[in-house]
Amino acid sequence: MDLFDDLPEPTQTAGQVSVAPVAARPQATREEEKEEEEGKSVKRKREDAESDADKEEEEEEEEEEEERGEIKKVCKEGLPVLKGFVAARRGEREEMQDAHVLLPDMSVCLSALPGRVSRVAYFAVFDGHGGARASRFAAEHLHHNLAKKFPSGDSENMDKLIKKCLLDTFRQTDEDFLKKASSQKPAWKDGSTATCVLVVDDMVYVANLGDSRAVLCRMEAAADGRRRSVTLALSKEHNPTMYEERMRIQRAGGTVRDGRVLGVLEVSRSIGDGQYKRCGVISTPDLRRCQLTANDRFIVLACDGLFKVFSADEAVKFVLSVLQDGSVEQRPGLTEEEVRFEAACQQLASEAVRRGCADNVTVILVSVGF
């Protein structure tokens, strides 16, 4: 029942001095008023029905949003926790030409996360040569270019889009640096390797140029019931002695002497190195993908300064030995595990120098926890 059905009809209308009594009106007028009232009643009922339908629709949308939020929350809670640690040593070089970036939460650079993505992280090592300008430029700009080109919306082909995004990002960063380098007087001749680890939820994408590397430590059950470490290569080196790299350089009119492009450049892919681009040196990275599991312990990213004196497996075992060390010095603001990883990262870089590496050494250690 309508709340206002029992109220009397108004006897005066705003803007009118008087209204004739209802009884004095002709029959036709009363019938017209009755039809008008019935029309108003039907209209009110229709509006009420529409209002109820709108409310139901809004409630359904709110419930769907809450469900999506819960799904995303559950998804995020099931993702690996990543923490980055870095150690850099100048070695015997006059200048530190390495650069690095640690972004455990890259969403601060993105306008919005894609609908199906809960977390994006980014870690990168750049090893400069001929100067530090190319490595620093890549460290400052590559992840911003990546953020601009990163897929948006609720795409079904996220994997394919991320790969295209990485390829476009490397090309753009290289072109931007070469443009800046050629505008200088005299022109800059710097170049840089790049090894970038992009983690989208629990999927790791690695894009690399040159001889900096990334490796993953995964624990597996051995026959005796114990757990043993397995070292997985996440990147591919690019040097002129490799068959495919040498063939590309030669097809472009370049030569390989003493394992170097034109007898000078040690790597066959890089950012910068404008004077070698006509000789087949490219900025197209190799891309690899790996899904993180509960058996994964950490990722090591490092320039070739580390791998000149450590094999990948030796580096992984060295880190594990420090992590398993019984003595831990507590540090304010860090958990015991974080202290161990920080120590492992610093000791690995120091050990590379102690073993005789005269080059710059930069190590990023990314812990993986579930």
* Predicted local confidence at residue 221, as pLDDT: 86
* Predicted local confidence at residue 331, as pLDDT: 81
* Predicted local confidence at residue 345, as pLDDT: 97
Band (pLDDT 50/70/90 cuts) for residue 28 is very low
Across 119-128, 155-164, 198-207, 226-235, least confident range:
155-164
Residues 6+ apart with CB under 8 A from 336: 328, 330
Q: How confident is the model over 135-154, as a mean pLDDT?
A: 94
Share of the chain above pLDDT 70, in %: 79
* Predicted local confidence at residue 33, as pLDDT: 53
Band (pLDDT 50/70/90 cuts) for residue 20 is very low
Q: Are 211 and 269 in contact (CB under 8 A)?
A: no
Band (pLDDT 50/70/90 cuts) for residue 242 is very high
* Predicted local confidence at residue 246, as pLDDT: 97
> For the chain, first and last CA: distance in Å?
59
pLDDT of 155 strictly over 80: no
Across 68-82, 118-132, 145-159, 285-299, least confident range:
68-82
Residue closest to 345 by CA, chosen among 332, 363, 369: 363
More confident residue, 44 or 116: 116
Q: How confident is the model over 353-367, as a mean pLDDT?
A: 96
Nearest-angstrom CA–CA distance, 228 and 365: 19
- Tokens 């472009």 label which residue? 252
Across 5-19, 92-106, 242-256, 283-297, least confident range:
5-19
* Predicted local confidence at residue 13, as pLDDT: 39
- Strands 361-369, 296-302: pairing is antiparallel
Q: How confident is the model over 242-268, as a mean pLDDT?
A: 97
Band (pLDDT 50/70/90 cuts) for residue 10 is very low
Band (pLDDT 50/70/90 cuts) for residue 173 is very high
* Predicted local confidence at residue 256, as pLDDT: 97
* Predicted local confidence at residue 152, as pLDDT: 86
Q: How confident is the model over 251-268, as a mean pLDDT?
A: 97
Q: Are 82 and 292 in contact (CB under 8 A)?
A: no
pLDDT of 342 strictly over 80: yes
- Provide the H-helix boundaries in 132-208: 133-149, 158-182
Q: How confident is the model over 351-359, as a mean pLDDT?
A: 95
88, amino acid identity: A
Across 48-62, 202-216, 231-245, least confident range:
48-62
* Predicted local confidence at residue 346, as pLDDT: 97
Collapse the DSSP code of 195 into the 3-class scheme (helix H, G, I; strand E, B; otherwise coil) and give the result.
strand
Nearest-angstrom CA–CA distance, 214 and 362: 12
Residue closest to 204 by CA, chosen among 102, 313, 307, 120: 120
* Predicted local confidence at residue 21, as pLDDT: 37
Q: How confident is the model over 249-273, as a mean pLDDT?
A: 97
More confident residue, 60 or 64: 60
Q: Residues 275-316: pLDDT tens digits? A: 999 999 999 999 999 999 999 999 999 999 999 999 999 999
Across 43-47, 112-116, 352-356, least confident range:
43-47
More confident residue, 246 or 22: 246
* Predicted local confidence at residue 2, as pLDDT: 39
